[in-house]
Structure 1
Amino acid sequence: MLIAIIAACEIGFWVVLGAGLLARYPLRMRRLGGLLLLCVPLIDVVLLVATVLDLRRGAEAGFAHGLSAAYLGYSIAFGHSMVRWADERFAHRFADGPPPRGKPRGGRARTRYEWREFGKAAVATAIACGLLVGMIAMVGDAGRTEALWGWTARLGLVLAIWAIWPVSHTLWPAEPGGQQSDR
C-alpha cells in the first residue's frame, strides 16, 4: 500500500507542478499558478503522514518505509530546483522568457555546478537518514525496524557514487567554452 502512495505522490508532484505552470503561463492565471506551485510541498507532507500512520499501526518497517524516507529527502533537497527548472522552460515557451539555463559544459563553472548538485545530494541523504532514524526511534522495536538501517547504508553508497562527478571535474576539469548543455 505504501508503494502505491509513493507512486501517487510522485505522479501528484508532476501533476500539481504541471497544473501550476499551465495556469501561470498559457492560461495567464498567475495567482492560481502560484498557489498551485506553493502546494507542491504538501505532497511530501501527505507521504510523511502516510508513512508515520503505517508505522504507528504496527507495520513492520520494510522497503517501502525506507523508500519513503529516501523520496522525501530527495524531494525536499531537489524539489525547489526541479520547480525552477520547469518554470524556466515554461516561461521561455509560453511567456517569451529568456532561454533556459543549462549546466555549464566545462571549466570552473562546471566544477561549481557539480559540487552544488553533490551538496544537494548530501542534504537529501542527511534528511532521509534523519527520517529513518526518527522512524526507528518512533517504533522503538529493533526487530520491526531492521530494514531501515539497511537504507542508511544504501543512501551512503548512492552519495559515495555521486561524489565521483564533482571529484572528477575538480581533478580533470573539462575545457570551458561552448554552449551550455540542457538539464
Structure 2
Amino acid sequence: MIAWIISAEIAFWIVIIVGLICRYVFKKPKLSIFFFALTPVIDLLLVLLTAMDLKAGTPASTAHGIAAIYIGVSIAYGKTMISWADVKFQQWILKASIQKETLTGLAKGKHEMKLLGRHIVAYIIGAGLLYAMTLFIGSNTDTSPLLQVMKVWGIVLTVDAIISISYVIFPSQK
C-alpha cells in the first residue's frame, strides 16, 4: 500500500514536470494542460487501488488512511502545488527572475486563513474517503487504524488552525 502512495506521488510530480517542459521548453501550452489534468486521474487510481486492496481482504491499516490523506491534500492543494512548481521551474530551469512578495500584517493573516481553508477542505475529503472505506469494507473488519489516522490528522488540523488564527489576532509588523 505504501508503495502505491509513493508511486502516486512520483507520478504526480512526473506529470507536473512533463507539463512544465511542454509549456516552457516545447511551447505547447495545450499539451501542458493535458498533463496537469492527469493529476486527478492519479488520485482516482489511488482511490481505486486502495478500495480494491481493502475489498480483497487486506486488513485496514494506517497506510490506507495515509492514502486518503494524500488524496485529500492532492485535491485541495493541487492547483497551489502546480503554481509553486511553475514558479520554481521558471526560476531554476529558465533562470527567470521572479520576486516573491513577503506578506506581513493583515495580508499574511488572510493568506494563512486561505491555507487553513484548503487544509479544512483536504480534511473533509480525506475524512469522507475514510468513512467511505469503512462502509465499503463492512463491519467484519477492524477499521480502528483508519479512525486513528483521522484523530492524528484532527490534531494536526487543530494546531494549524491555532497558528493560522494567531496571524490574524496578532498580525506581524512590517
Q: Using the alignment, how far apart are the partners of 2:28 and 2:168 within structure 1?
A: 44
Equivalent residue in structure 2 for 1:159, among 157, 160, 174? 157
Deviation, 1:87, is 2.0
Contact 1:88–1:100 (CA under 8 A) maintained in structure 2:
no
For structure 2, list consecutive stretches of 5 or more residues without a partner in the other structure: none
- Equivalent pairs: percent with the same residue? 34
Is there any run of 5+ residues in structure 1 with no aligned partner, and where?
Answer: 177-183
1:121 to 79, 104, 119: 119
> Do the aligned partners of 1:52 and 1:135 also contact (CA within 8 Å) in 2?
yes
> Which runs of structure 2 are paired with 1:39-50 in the superposition (5 Å)?
39-50=38-49
Q: How far is the alpha carbon of 1:142 from its aligned partner?
A: 5.4
Question: Over aligned residues, Cα RMSD in angstroms?
Answer: 1.9
Task: Supply the distance in 2 between the matched residues of 1:44 and 1:6 (Cα, whole angstroms).
Answer: 10
- One-letter amino acid of the counterpart of residue 162, structure 2: I
Q: In the alignment, is the contact (CA less than 8 A) between 1:73 and 1:128 conserved in 2?
A: yes
The structural deviation recorded for 1:95 is 9.5
Instruction: Tell whether 2:16 aligns with 1:17.
Output: yes
1:29 Cα deviation after fit? 2.0
Aligned pair in 2 of structure 1 residues 100, 50: CA closer, same or farther (>3 Å)? farther
Aligned to 2:148: 150
Measured in 2, the distance between the counterparts of 1:90 and 1:62 equals 36
Q: Per-residue deviation at 1:124? A: 0.6
Residue number in structure 2 paired with 1:130 = 128
Please state if 1:75 is matched with 2:74. yes
Quick check: 1:86 aligned with 2:89? Answer: no
CA distance in 2, matches of 1:91, 1:44: 26
Aligned equivalent of 1:33? 32
Whole-Å separation in 2 of the counterparts to 1:118 and 1:28: 35
Measure, in 2, the Cα distance between the counterparts of 1:69 and 1:142.
21
TM-score (norm 2): 0.91
Residue 47 of structure 1: how far off its partner (Å): 0.5
Decide which of 165, 170, 180 is 2:168's aligned counterpart: 170
Letter in 1 for 2:74: S
TM-score between both structures, scaled by the size of structure 1:
0.87
CA distance in 1: counterparts of 2:58 and 2:89, whole angstroms: 42
Conservation of the 8 A alpha-carbon contact between 1:61 and 1:145: yes
The answer to whether the 8 A contact 1:89-1:99 is kept is no
